[in-house]
Amino acid sequence: MIEAKERAMGRALLFDIDGTLADTDALHREAFNRVFGPRGHVVDDERFKRELQGFSNVSIGERFLPDETPERRIAILDEKEAIFRGLVAGRIAPLPGLMALLDRADAAGIPMVAVTNAPRLNAELLLSGLGITERFKAIVIGDELPHGKPHPLPYQEGLRFVGASAAGSIAFEDSRSGVQSAAAAGIPTIGMRTTLGHADLVAAGAIASASAYDDPDLLARVATAMAW
């Protein structure tokens, strides 16, 4: 066990949550339409990918609700998040291969961190629903920092929590803003193709992409990087 801990020093796995641990983007899109539809915004798949996926609620409020006060924007987006939590409850399933990868990381002594722009209530609900809350050494919430994704700060904070180096770690992301955040922090990033395709993820800065965690190339990359 001591040998495993020594090999793991300076390494970490960092995960976004929505669309990365569980495929929840369609439910977010539905919740946005319920709240934004009456306000004149129709969110189709392309608009969701381009203007909503992975962005903080502060930036979403500024873009979609420019005529509202900051306080009113918060209230409207809190309503959206409450709708999402109602939609997702009881429907949270991990991407294929996730649990096996987390088991392997635990066995190798590799610390794991969740890094998200989602509100803390959402993050805690999804991690709890997956039964993996205790797996993570920290949950970094972008809206609780001076800058959320795509700024590198959330991932820099994730590395700091576990004393890991960027070069010795791997991040998993599904959105452009998330990939940009992790890549800007210097972390090799694998894009998960739950919503975006390979070309979009690589253009944002991912070194590779995968549709699930049982992808052989993903597993080989992680095994090499984590020295297990």
Which amino acids are annotated catalytic? 16, 18
Per the CB < 8 A criterion, the answer to whether 142 and 17 are in contact is no
Q: Please report the DSSP string for 55-71 in residue order.
A: --HHHHHHHH-TTS-HH
CA distance 208 to 210: 7
CA distance 191 to 144: 24
Classified as helix, coil or strand, 210 is: strand
227: left (phi over 0), alpha (psi -120 to 50) or beta: left
List Cβ neighbours of 93 (8 Å cut-off, separation of 6 or more).
22, 23, 130
